[in-house]
């Protein structure tokens, strides 16, 4: 079965909009890495849930329709992120599905690498 291509738009704090392509099953971290999107410090722990630098802010409607709810481990790590919101998630824990094609997420202005606290 061929994996469907999906598109994600990352909106930086300065308003820059970066459109990126990925495949179903990619995490948002994968998409940042595979597209070589230049986000300072993003994804420092490479998806091992130990850094919180992959913090992204979703629209409420998107947050609510994500197929997976945050685990306790993700919640603990999110607590360490700067600019935490009610619709924050870690990009390495969000896997793209066809239904999420066209997703738009905000990249917070500052990232916090929990490993350096």
- Scanning 10-18, 47-55, 65-73, 95-103 for contacts with ligand FES by CB under 6 A, the matching segment is 47-55
Instruction: Decide: is 88 part of the binding site for ligand FES (CB under 6 A).
Output: no
**Alpha-carbon distance 75 to 64, whole Å?**
16
Q: Which of 33, 43, 108, 112 binds ligand FES (CB under 6 A)?
A: 43
Can you tell me which of 8, 28, 92, 111 binds ligand FES, judged by CB under 6 A? 92
Phi, psi at 98, each rounded to 5°: -55, -40
Whole-number minimum distance, CB 71 to ligand FES, in Å? 12
What tokens appear for 54 in the block?
């992959």
Q: Closer CB to ligand FES, residue 8 or residue 51?
A: 51
Using the contact rule CB under 6 A, the part of the chain among 5-13, 51-59, 62-70, 103-111 near ligand FES is 51-59
Residues lying near ligand FES in the complex (CB under 6 A) are found at 29, 43-45, 47, 49-54, 77, 90, 92
């Amino acid at each position: 079965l061929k994996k469907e291509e999906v598109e994600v738009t990352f909106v930086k704090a300065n308003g820059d909009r970066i459109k990126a392509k990925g495949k179903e099953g990619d995490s948002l971290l994968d998409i940042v890495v595979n597209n070589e999107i230049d986000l300072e410090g993003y994804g420092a722990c490479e998806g091992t849930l130990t850094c919180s630098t992959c913090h992204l802010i979703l629209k409420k409607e998107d947050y609510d329709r994500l197929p997976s709810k945050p685990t306790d481990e993700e919640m603990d790590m999110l607590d360490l992120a700067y600019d935490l919101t009610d619709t924050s998630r870690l990009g390495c824990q969000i896997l793209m599905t066809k239904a999420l094609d066209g997703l738009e997420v905000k990249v917070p202005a500052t990232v916090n690498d929990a490993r350096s606290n």
